[in-house]
Amino acid sequence: MGIILGASIFVQPSEVSRHVPSIPGTLLVWLACGLLTLCGALVCAELPHALQLAVRFAGADQILAGSDYPHQIGSIEQMLASIRALEVSEAERAAILGGNAARLLRP
**Is there a single domain that holds both residue 41 and residue 64?**
no
The separation between the first and the last C-alpha atoms of the chain, rounded to the nearest angstrom, is 28
Q: Where are the alpha helices (DSSP H) in 1-107?
A: 2-11, 13-19, 23-45, 47-58, 76-84, 90-94, 100-105
**Is there a single domain that holds both residue 63 and residue 88?**
yes
pLDDT per position as a tens digit, 6-35: 555 566 677 777 888 888 988 888 888 778
Q: For residues 65 and 107, what is the distance between their CA atoms, to the nearest angstrom?
A: 20
**Is there a single domain that holds both residue 102 and residue 56?**
yes
**Is there a single domain that holds both residue 93 and residue 71?**
yes
Say if residues 63 and 31 touch (Cβ distance below 8 Å): no
Say if residues 21 and 14 touch (Cβ distance below 8 Å): no
Please give the residue range of the domain that contains residue 70. Answer: 46-107
Instruction: Please tell me the pTM assigned to this model.
Output: 0.53
**Is there a single domain that holds both residue 30 and residue 55?**
no
pLDDT per position as a tens digit, 65-88: 765 555 555 567 777 888 888 889
- Tell me how many domains the chain contains: 2
**Is there a single domain that holds both residue 60 and residue 31?**
no
pLDDT per position as a tens digit, 94-107: 999 999 989 988 88
